[in-house]
C-alpha cells in the first residue's frame, strides 16, 4: 500500500537512492580497466568491454523507455535497474577468485552494471518528473542531480582510500556492497509511498501546440514531430561538442604536466561544479523558463578552448566549465523534456532523447580523437556545432515558451 509523502521528501529520497547507487557505480568504473588487466585482458578487450558497457547504458534506453510506457510499470523497471547495479558491482570482488572464468565473469558484470542504468533511467526519470512538478521541475531535478553527483564524487574517493589501505582490488569492490544495500532499502521505502504515475494523454505544462492539437483529437501525440524532435536534434549537436573527460584527462597528463594522482581530484572538482550548475540552472528554469538553457552551447564551446590549452590556469577553468555544462545537461535539460511531452509518453521520450545524445557523444569522441593534434580546427568545429545547437535551441525555447503563455491565458 502506497503512503504519500511530501513532494520534497520524495525528491530527496530519489536523490539519496541515486547518491548511494552512483557511489557504487562510479566508484567501480575507474577500477574496471585495472581489474580486467589483472585478469589477463588485453588493451583491445578492455576497450571493447568498457565501450560496450557505455553503449548499452545509452542505446538500450531506446528499448526500455518505450517498454516502460507501454506497460506503465515504471516502478518495476526502476527496481530491476537499480538491483542490477547493486548486485553486479559488488560481485566483481569475486572475479579474481573465479579462475579461468574470472575474465568472462568480470566482463559480464561490468556490462550488467551499465545495462541496469539503461533499464532504470527512463522509468525513474518519469517517476521523478511526476513528483517534481509539484515543487518545480527545475529545482526538483536540480536537487536530485546534486545528490547524484555527490555519489559520483564520493565513490572514487572511497575506493581509492580502500586501495591505499589494502592494495587489493577485490576489497575495493567488496566495500561497495554497503552503499548498494542502502540504495535498495531506500528504494523499498520509496516504493511503499509513491504510486505509479497516472496515465494521461495530455501534455504537461510546456507541451507543444502541435501536441495539444493531436491530443485534443483523441490520440496520443507523436514524439517525432514538433518541438520535442527539434530539442532532441539540438541535443545531438551539443553532445557532439561536449568532450568526454577521458580526453581532458589524457591532455592533463600528457600536455599539461598534471600528475596522474591529481586527475581524480580534478574530476571531483568538476563534479562539484556540476552540482552548482545543476542547482543554479534548475532554480532559474523555474523562474524564467527554458531560456536558461541558452547558456549551454556557450559553455560547451568554451571547453576545448580552455581545457585543452597548455596553461594550467585555463585548463582548470575549462574543467570547471565542463563540469557546469555536464550538470546542466543532466538535470535542467531533463526538466524541459518532461515539460515538452505528454506524461504517458515520457519514458519513450527519455529513451529517444538519450539516443540522440548518445549518437552525438559517439560522433564527438571521433571528432576529438581525429582533431586533437590540430587544436585550432577542433575549436572551430566545436564552435560551429554549438552555433547550430544555439539556433535550434532558440527555436525550441520560442515554441515552448509560446505554448506556455497560450495555456496560461486559456487557464484564466
Q: Whole-angstrom Cα distance, residue 306 to residue 326?
A: 16
Q: Whole-angstrom Cα distance, residue 52 to residue 110?
A: 9
Q: Is residue 92 pLDDT above 50, yes or no?
A: yes
In the chain, where are the structural domains located? 7-191, 209-411
Give pLDDT, residue 220.
44
Q: Which three cell numbers stand for residue 198?
A: 497516472
Give pLDDT, residue 204.
45
Q: Whole-angstrom Cα distance, residue 404 to residue 74?
A: 27
| Count of C-beta atoms within a 10 Å radius of residue 380 | 13
Cα dihedral sign for 264, 270, 274, 276?
positive
Of 330, 320, 268, 264, the residue nearest 293 (C-alpha): 330
What angle (nearest 5°) sits at the alpha carbon of residue 187, between those of residues 204 and 200? Answer: 20
CATH of domain 7-191: 1.20.1250.20
We find that the CATH architecture of domain 209-411 is Up-down Bundle (1.20)
- As a whole-number percent, the residues of the chain with pLDDT over 90 amount to 42
Say if residue 276 is exposed, middle or buried (CB neighbours under 10 Å; 0-12, 13-18, 19+): middle
- As a whole-number percent, the residues of the chain with pLDDT over 70 amount to 87
Residue 241 Cα distances to 299, 362, 366, angstroms: 10, 10, 11
User: Do 7-191 and 209-411 share a fold?
Assistant: yes
Give pTM, 2 decimals.
Answer: 0.72
State in Å, rounded, how far the first CA of the chain is from the last one. 37
Helix (H) or strand (E) segment spanning residue 118: helix 102-132
The pLDDT tens digits for 185-240 are 999 999 988 888 865 444 444 444 434 433 433 344 456 668 899 999 999 999 88
DSSP 268-283: HHHHHHHHHHHHHHHH
Give pLDDT, residue 5.
54
Q: What are phi and psi of 219, to 5 degrees?
A: -130, 155
Least trusted range by pLDDT, from 10-14, 47-51, 355-359, 381-385: 47-51
DSSP 58-105: HHTHHHHHHHHHHH--HHHHHHHHHHHHHHHHHHGGGGGGGGGGHHHH
Give pLDDT, residue 359.
82
Whole-number average pLDDT of the chain: 84
Give pLDDT, residue 185.
97
Q: Is residue 17 pLDDT above 70, yes or no?
A: yes
Question: Would you say 61 and 355 are in contact if contact means Cβ atoms under 8 Å apart?
Answer: yes
Question: Would you say 92 and 35 are in contact if contact means Cβ atoms under 8 Å apart?
Answer: yes
The pLDDT tens digits for 93-141 are 999 999 889 999 999 999 999 999 999 999 999 999 888 888 888 889 8
3-state DSSP helix/strand/coil % of the chain, to nearest 5: 85, 0, 15
The C-alpha cell 532499502 sits at 185
Amino acid at each position: 500500500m502506497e503512503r504519500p509523502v511530501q513532494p520534497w521528501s520524495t525528491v530527496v529520497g530519489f536523490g539519496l537512492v541515486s547518491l548511494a547507487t552512483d557511489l557504487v557505480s562510479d566508484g567501480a568504473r575507474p577500477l574496471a580497466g585495472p581489474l580486467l588487466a589483472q585478469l589477463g585482458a588485453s588493451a583491445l578487450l578492455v576497450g571493447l568491454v568498457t565501450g560496450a558497457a557505455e553503449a548499452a547504458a545509452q542505446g538500450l534506453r531506446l528499448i526500455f523507455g518505450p517498454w516502460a510506457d507501454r506497460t506503465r510499470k515504471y516502478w518495476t523497471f526502476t527496481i530491476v535497474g537499480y538491483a542490477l547495479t547493486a548486485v553486479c558491482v559488488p560481485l566483481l570482488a569475486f572475479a579474481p577468485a573465479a579462475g579461468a572464468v574470472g575474465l568472462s565473469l568480470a566482463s559480464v558484470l561490468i556490462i550488467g552494471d551499465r545495462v541496469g542504468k539503461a533499464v532504470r533511467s527512463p522509468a525513474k526519470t518519469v517517476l521523478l518528473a511526476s513528483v517534481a512538478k509539484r515543487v518545480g521541475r527545475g529545482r526538483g531535478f536540480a536537487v536530485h542531480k546534486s545528490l547524484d553527483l555527490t555519489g559520483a564524487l564520493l565513490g572514487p574517493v572511497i575506493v581509492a582510500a580502500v586501495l591505499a589501505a589494502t592494495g587489493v582490488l577485490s576489497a575495493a569492490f567488496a566495500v561497495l556492497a554497503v552503499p548498494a544495500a542502502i540504495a535498495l532499502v531506500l528504494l523499498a521505502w520509496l516504493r511503499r509511498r509513491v504510486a505509479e504515475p497516472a496515465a494521461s494523454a495530455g501534455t504537461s505544462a510546456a507541451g507543444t501546440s502541435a501536441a495539444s492539437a493531436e491530443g485534443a483529437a483523441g490520440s496520443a501525440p507523436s514524439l517525432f514531430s514538433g518541438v520535442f524532435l527539434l530539442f532532441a536534434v539540438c541535443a545531438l549537436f551539443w553532445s557532439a561538442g561536449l568532450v568526454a573527460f577521458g580526453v581532458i584527462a589524457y591532455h592533463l597528463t600528457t600536455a599539461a604536466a598534471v600528475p596522474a594522482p591529481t586527475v581524480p581530484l580534478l574530476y571531483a572538482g568538476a563534479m562539484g561544479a556540476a552540482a552548482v550548475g545543476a542547482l543554479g540552472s534548475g532554480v532559474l528554469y523555474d523562474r524564467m523558463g527554458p531560456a536558461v538553457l541558452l547558456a549551454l552551447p556557450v559553455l560547451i564551446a568554451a571547453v576545448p578552448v580552455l581545457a585543452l590549452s597548455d596553461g594550467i590556469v585555463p585548463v582548470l577553468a575549462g574543467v570547471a566549465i565542463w563540469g557546469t555544462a555536464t550538470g546542466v545537461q543532466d538535470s535542467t535539460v531533463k526538466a524541459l523534456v518532461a515539460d515538452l511531452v505528454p506524461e504517458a509518453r515520457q519514458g519513450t521520450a527519455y529513451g529517444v532523447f538519450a539516443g540522440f545524445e548518445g549518437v552525438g557523444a559517439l560522433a564527438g569522441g571521433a571528432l576529438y580523437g581525429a582533431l586533437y593534434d590540430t587544436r585550432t580546427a577542433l575549436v572551430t568545429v566545436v564552435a560551429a556545432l554549438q552555433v547550430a545547437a544555439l539556433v535550434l535551441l532558440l527555436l525550441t525555447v520560442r515554441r515552448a515558451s509560446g505554448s506556455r503563455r497560450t495555456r496560461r491565458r486559456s487557464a484564466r
